[in-house]
Structure 1
Amino acid sequence: MATHYQILIIGGGTAGVMTAAQLLKIKKSRKIAIIEPADTHYYQPAWTLVGAGTYDYEKTGKPMAEVMPDGAKWIKDKATAFDPENNSVSTASSGKITYDYLIVAPGLAYDFSLVPGLGNAIDKGVVCSNYTDPKHTWDVIKNFKGGTALFTQPTTPIKCGGAPQKIMYLAESHWAKSETRSKTNIVFATAGSVIFGVKEIAKTLMEVVDRKDINLRFGYQLKKVDGANKIAWYSYAEHEKEINHKSIKIEKDGDLTGVHYDMLHTAPPSVSPEFVRKSTLVNDAGWLDVDKNTMQHNKYANIFGLGDVAGLPTAKTGAAIRKQVPVAVDNLELLIKHDKIGSKSYNGYSSCPLVTDYGKMVLAEFDYDNNFTPDPKLKSLFISDSSKEHWRLWMLKKYGLPYLYWNKMLKGKDV
């Protein structure tokens, strides 16, 4: 006999914990369970700072048991399959679990097969990623003695699209304190055609790129990595643009262009978790098929999805989740009480704190249309224009946001 819950949540990350906490605030006696296999809950936005040697990795994690909301049952297990017609989820070891309402928020997964060679090279030697092992990133940066420092990213959606360039700006600052910088070419190769999609932010970042003399290569699609020979292989369109051109060692192999590197930082290629991807719940791109304004599933009315797994045309960030959760909770409440959802709507808000130096940051806040939408609360920090570099924004990133995360967001409080 399957165990039954009124509300079943898949995922004990930011979205799952925050949603459970808000639902239990409204009604304590609810039967809610969260399926989550991990022992530790990480505050991943701080991993950029860990990779730059300015934040303690140990402080980015807490035992999962500590962050689970009072009143929610933690099922320490993996979800393995959906049966939405019968309101049931299969698990690795707890059998089937049934529900009245389901919230799907397991985050995303990494698929290294999409960039052959990267899986074997990552987190070893001079290849690093703040997404997978930020402590190794710091080791690579502090031990780097010059050459070509290549910062890049895959063509898939990734967590926090700005993260691959934040660590580059911090690495440049670190190297500038020694002889290393004068012996280094810093290259940023990206498949995009702009440094950032919000024009006010892009303007500032291009000034940062010029100040730091970083070679930008647009239109570069990462195809494979040859770890043994330290070459990253790309395809790119002929209209590809370069800013601050640097002469670096390049080679050709058919249609591919190889960039030789002496260190490489990248984000891993990202997809939805396999059990989601193989289900009937996804869109054509393989992400959870939800309405972009209500967070309700487009086919199954009693299923909601949010966070990184959701197929939404906005950046996958914790800040996005902060605005998605109240919408999903409100709509779910009305669905339970009145069998219809309300008028609360998510506008695609996301935010990317772009650290540009030790002690400087720009805060990119934007919606589905890439409109720059700064939070009015920033005025209380005496920040009149968050598209410009500011030390107070750095303080917000390093101290303010982690505090708000652990003490407010995860406890279901409005922030």
Structure 2
Amino acid sequence: MAQKLVHEVVIVGGGTGGIATAASMLKRRPALDLAIIEPAETHSYQPGWTMVGGGIFDASVTRRPMASVMPRRAHWIRQAAASFQPDENQVTLSDGTTVAYGLLIVASGIRLAWEKIAGLEQTLGSNGVTSNYRYDLAPYTWQLVRNLRSGRAIFSQPPMPIKCAGAPQKAMYLSCDAWRERGVLDAIDVEFRTAGNALFGVKEYVPALEEYVERYGIALKLEQNLVAVDGPGRTATFSTASGEETVDFDLLHVVPPQVAPQFVADSPLANPESGFVDVDKFTLRHVRYPNVFAIGDAGSTPNAKTAAAARKQAPIVAVNALAALDGAAPVANYDGYGSCPLTVERGKIVLAEFGYDGKLLPSFPKWLIDGTRPRKLSWLLKSEVLPWVYWNGMLKGHEWLVKPEIKANA
């Protein structure tokens, strides 16, 4: 007979959003009966994978045992969630166990849909095909960059939504900088083929990025979506406005299409259009189930899906969820904040910080860091400060620079 568990708060997902929210809630209410459903034995600092692909970080520094980041007072359920029954206030696990909850927080992330590009899965990690979106492939990116001396290097970007919309460009700029340093950039044809209609979605950051596109001699090709890869043949096929185009490559950095996890998309919690958890974009509370919240990539909110967004959302979900447990209305709003540190060269970053509708939301005064221009200080923030803050602050419930503003009437 299937086991039945009961917890006051259940969080589905032990990634960035899930752990940070749990830590924030338990800091506020140490005796809270909170469980985290997560089958993985390791936890990754995914923003570091760009740096691995650029030869700056070793992959091992981006990964730690899950047990080392799991909040001490949380109950860790080492299973995968299989389905939701929100009308019964329960989650069913892959082994048939049901977990009943008083309040549910979905932090299940986003699914990398590699299979949507024909031929890709068979050739990933070989034949010059790589991606910084996977822990085991980021070192291969750097191997390819180190070894390439001439030919064509293509960097692709699929339609939104994707995790960190700047990551495809970061990989490209760091590669170009390495080739320039070695004196081989002029012998390499670099192409950025993106399904979007602009280099970056927030116009204030575009001029600085365009300067680097010109400096590195990158061919910018808009409204091009990668649909097929022939690894052994070293060809990539793109869907364009005028039909399909097949091109040769020596290096292909792929960013896969990204979708809601299937068990979320198939559930009553899903937004009918996107498949992500259907939440109010300000309170992060479900639009139909008042005892359900979502955080990070799992939510239907129209913000940039970045670790920085989850960092800002976690305390907001924490205080709003605790208010819901107490029978009160949400007490804090999320402004859509996300950050994308665009690594334009080794040692300089364009620090894009913005919220809903592209509104600029800088964390620092312009005299200290002008996020629209490449800055060394932004590089130090990305390479030294943020990884430390992630492991020692965010995942421990410390809310430095992201403490939620409680509404005056709350």
Q: CA deviation at 1:158?
A: 1.2
Q: CA deviation at 1:32?
A: 0.4
Q: For residue 72 of structure 1, what is the aligned residue in structure 2?
A: 74
Q: For residue 408 of structure 2, what is the aligned residue in structure 1?
A: none
| Residue type of the alignment partner of 1:68 | M
Residue 12 (structure 1) aligned with residue 14 (structure 2): yes
CA distance in 1, matches of 2:186, 2:8: 61
Residue 318 (structure 1) aligned with residue 303 (structure 2): no
| Residue type of the alignment partner of 1:5 | H
Q: For residue 367 of structure 1, what is the aligned residue in structure 2?
A: 355
| Residue type of the alignment partner of 1:220 | Q
Q: For residue 222 of structure 1, what is the aligned residue in structure 2?
A: 226
SS at match of 1:49: helix
Q: Report if the CA contact (8 A) 2:347-2:376 is conserved.
A: yes
CA distance in 1, matches of 2:331, 2:65: 37
CA distance in 2, matches of 1:135, 1:259: 25
Q: For residue 40 of structure 1, what is the aligned residue in structure 2?
A: 42
Q: For residue 392 of structure 2, what is the aligned residue in structure 1?
A: 407
SS at match of 2:95: coil
Q: Deviations over 1:190-217 (max 9, x none)?
A: 0111111111111110111111111100
| Residue type of the alignment partner of 1:260 | D
CA distance in 2, matches of 1:285, 1:16: 21
Q: For residue 353 of structure 1, what is the aligned residue in structure 2?
A: 341
Q: Report if the CA contact (8 A) 2:369-2:377 is conserved.
A: no
Q: CA deviation at 1:94?
A: 6.4
Q: For residue 193 of structure 1, what is the aligned residue in structure 2?
A: 197
Q: CA deviation at 1:183?
A: 1.2
Q: Report if the CA contact (8 A) 1:156-1:271 is conserved.
A: no
Q: CA deviation at 1:144?
A: 1.2
* 1:234-313 superposed matches below 5 A: 234-237=238-241, 255-283=243-271, 284-313=273-302
Which segments of 5 or more consecutive residues in structure 1 lack a partner in the other structure? 239-254
Q: For residue 89 of structure 1, what is the aligned residue in structure 2?
A: 91
CA distance in 2, matches of 1:198, 1:153: 16
| Residue type of the alignment partner of 1:19 | T
SS at match of 1:256: strand
Structure 1 runs of 4+ aligned residues shifted over 4 Å read none
| Residue type of the alignment partner of 2:133 | Y
Q: How many residues are matched?
A: 395
Which segments of 5 or more consecutive residues in structure 2 lack a partner in the other structure? 401-410
Q: Report if the CA contact (8 A) 1:155-1:222 is conserved.
A: no
Q: Deviations over 1:83-114 (max 9, x none)?
A: 11111111123611110000000111122232
* 1:91-106 superposed matches below 5 A: 91-93=93-95, 95-106=97-108
Of the candidates 48, 51, 54, which is equivalent to residue 53 of structure 2?
A: 51
CA distance in 1, matches of 2:96, 2:52: 36
More moved, 101-110 vs 178-187:
178-187
SS at match of 2:184: helix
TM-score under structure 1 normalisation?
0.92
Residue 182 (structure 1) aligned with residue 186 (structure 2): yes
| Residue type of the alignment partner of 2:256 | P
Pairwise CA RMSD: 1.4
Q: For residue 60 of structure 1, what is the aligned residue in structure 2?
A: 62
SS at match of 2:358: coil
| Residue type of the alignment partner of 1:326 | P
CA distance in 2, matches of 1:330, 1:18: 12
CA distance in 1, matches of 2:182, 2:26: 53
CA distance in 1, matches of 2:166, 2:125: 20
| Residue type of the alignment partner of 1:75 | I
Percent of aligned pairs sharing the same letter: 42
1:123/1:20 Cα in 2 relative to 1: closer, same or farther (>3 Å)? same
Residue 120 (structure 1) aligned with residue 105 (structure 2): no
Q: CA deviation at 1:229?
A: 1.8
CA distance in 2, matches of 1:391, 1:179: 23
Q: Deviations over 1:225-272 (max 9, x none)?
A: 22232222112225xxxxxxxxxxxxxxxx311121111001122111
| Residue type of the alignment partner of 2:372 | S
CA distance in 1, matches of 2:298, 2:249: 32
More moved, 355-364 vs 282-291:
282-291
Q: For residue 149 of structure 1, what is the aligned residue in structure 2?
A: 153
Q: CA deviation at 1:21?
A: 0.6
